[in-house]
């Protein structure tokens, strides 16, 4: 008898919010930007760079002391470090946002290509996370659901790129910070909602198809036995 846990197809996806450090993780992720822009305006770029980096380190140490998940803080620190380095090298505060702008463009392109080649990335990621691998790829309606969810992420990334790149070109550093925050988790929350719907729908379709296959198999076996008994 197998001791492997059963997969609950009606269960929600793994808690992404928890993986990102919870609500506090989302709040902490915005703090370096909130500090960088006003400090740059008051004390200059160098002080702003070190302030953002110092705050990222402080957040990491705080999570270590509290024994909270540190992966979000580590990722956040390296993200801030890259952004700060670009700003320092370009000599312009708006350079802080350049990495995020082009990251959005790359992500949007990757998600879009995955739809075009009929391998929607949301489905691939979810299949890897819940151990269902590629089962959903044999069901057209499940693929369409994941297409929709992946397209939602494409729209999020493209919107971020278009808006923030225009603000960057216009030298609107303050508005870049506002856009970075406003188009961050609020837009991601919408995409996560669409993803949640797609996951539930696709898992249900796959489960229903599996149950149908089992019923058909049982019916065939039953028919074979009756035929053999009749002879």
In tens, the pLDDT along 98-135 reads 999 999 999 999 999 999 998 999 988 887 777 666 77
CB 136 within 8 A of CB 202: yes
Same-domain pairing of 85 and 139: no
Query: What is the rounded CA–CA span in Å between residue 128 and residue 134?
Result: 8
Q: Which residues contact 130 (CB under 8 A, 6 or more apart)?
A: 7, 13, 14, 203
Q: Choose one of 75, 91, 107: the last residue of a domain.
A: 91
pLDDT tier for residue 4 given thresholds of 50, 70 and 90: very low
**Phi, psi (5° rounding) for residue 68?**
-85, 165
Clarify whether residues 41 and 108 are in a common domain. Answer: no
**Final residue of a structural domain among 91, 116, 136:** 91
What digits encode the pLDDT tens for the residues 207-229?
A: 776 666 555 555 555 555 555 55
Q: Kindly state whether residue 127 falls inside one of the protein's structural domains.
A: yes
Selected residue with higher pLDDT from 213 and 78? 78
C-alpha to C-alpha distances, 47 to 6, 10, 120, 187, 204, nearest whole angstrom? 54, 50, 43, 31, 53
Does residue 86 sit in the same domain as residue 103?
Answer: no
Contact 56, 80 (CB under 8 A): yes
Q: Are residues 99 and 212 in the same domain?
A: yes
Same domain assignment for residues 128 and 81:
no
Is 9 domain-assigned? no
Backbone dihedral region of 219: left (phi > 0), alpha (psi from -120 to 50 degrees) or beta?
A: alpha
Closest by CA to 127, choosing from 112, 139, 137, is: 137
Considering the domain architecture, whether residues 100 and 171 belong to the same structural domain is answered as yes
**Of 102, 95, 82, which Cα lies nearest the Cα of 45?**
95
**Does residue 22 have a pLDDT over 90?**
no
CA gap 218, 206 in Å, rounded: 18
Question: Is 147 within a domain?
Answer: yes
Say how many domains are in the chain: 2
Looking at the structure, do residues 65 and 77 belong to the same domain, yes or no?
yes
Q: Which residues contact 127 (CB under 8 A, 6 or more apart)?
A: 133, 134, 135, 136
| Residue 79 and residue 20 share a domain | yes
C-alpha distances in Å from residue 179, one per residue of 33, 94, 103, 173, 229: 11, 12, 15, 10, 74
* CA 229/CA 231 separation, integer angstroms: 5
Question: How far is Cα 52 from Cα 35, in angstroms, rounded to an integer?
Answer: 6
Query: What is the span of the domain harbouring residue 34?
Result: 15-91
Q: Give the pLDDT mean for 128-148.
A: 80
User: Is residue 3 one of the residues assigned to a domain?
Assistant: no
One domain, residues 99 and 157: yes
What whole-number distance in Å separates Cα of residue 195 and Cα of residue 67? 30
Pair 139, 202 in one domain? yes
The mean predicted confidence, pLDDT, of the chain is: 81
């Amino acid at each position: 008898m197998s001791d492997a846990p059963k997969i609950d197809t009606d269960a929600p996806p793994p808690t992404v919010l928890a993986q990102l450090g919870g609500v506090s993780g989302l709040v902490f992720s915005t703090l370096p930007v909130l500090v960088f822009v006003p400090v740059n305006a008051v004390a200059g770029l160098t002080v702003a760079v070190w302030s953002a980096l110092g705050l990222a380190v402080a957040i990491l140490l705080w999570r270590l002391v509290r024994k909270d998940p540190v992966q979000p803080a580590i990722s956040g620190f390296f993200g801030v470090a890259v952004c700060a380095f670009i700003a320092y090298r370009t000599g312009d505060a708006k350079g802080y946002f350049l990495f995020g702008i082009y990251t959005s463009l790359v992500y949007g392109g990757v998600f879009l290509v995955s739809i075009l080649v009929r391998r929607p990335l949301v489905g691939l990621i979810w299949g890897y996370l819940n151990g269902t691998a590629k089962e959903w790829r044999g069901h057209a309606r499940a693929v369409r659901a994941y297409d929709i969810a992946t397209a939602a992420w494409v729209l999020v990334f493209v919107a971020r790129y278009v808006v923030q790149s225009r603000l960057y070109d216009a030298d609107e550093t303050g508005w870049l910070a506002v856009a970075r925050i406003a188009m961050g988790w609020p837009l991601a929350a919408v995409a996560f909602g669409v993803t949640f719907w797609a996951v539930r729908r696709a898992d249900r379709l796959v489960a229903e198809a599996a149950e149908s296959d089992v019923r058909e198999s049982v019916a065939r076996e039953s028919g074979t036995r009756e035929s053999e008994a009749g002879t």
